[in-house]
Amino acid sequence: MVAATRLPLLGPLLRRGITEITYVGRRSGRTFRTPVGYRRDGDEVSIIVLMPDRKTWWRNFLAAGGPIAVHLDGVDRPGHAVARRDERGRVTVTVRLDPED
């Protein structure tokens, strides 16, 4: 599915609200690429983690958070992500994108 979002004709339709993040695992040191649903508002990207208890990737961004890249407009945009769980157990990862050159 993620590869299809990069196709010239089909990509723009498929990638509305779907993108790919790249991050390095805090414990493993390995680089991961993960598809996510997102909403963007300027230099801030919000990722709602569906079924967070079945996923672990977002835990890399607890407390002070960590570096991340979000694939937007055909390029990977670096930023800083912080994950928060609310009182109902919902998890949101907020990414503050680095300024563009």
Query: For the chain, what are the domain ranges?
Result: 17-97
CATH code of the domain made up of 17-97: 2.30.110.10
Residue 2 clears pLDDT 90, i.e. is over it:
no
Q: How far apart are CA 6 and CA 67, in angstroms?
A: 23
Across 55-82, average pLDDT? 97
DSSP code of residue 8: T
Model-wide pTM > 0.85:
no
Structure confidence at residue 13 (pLDDT) = 58
Kindly report the number of other CB atoms within 10 A of residue 97's CB atom: 19
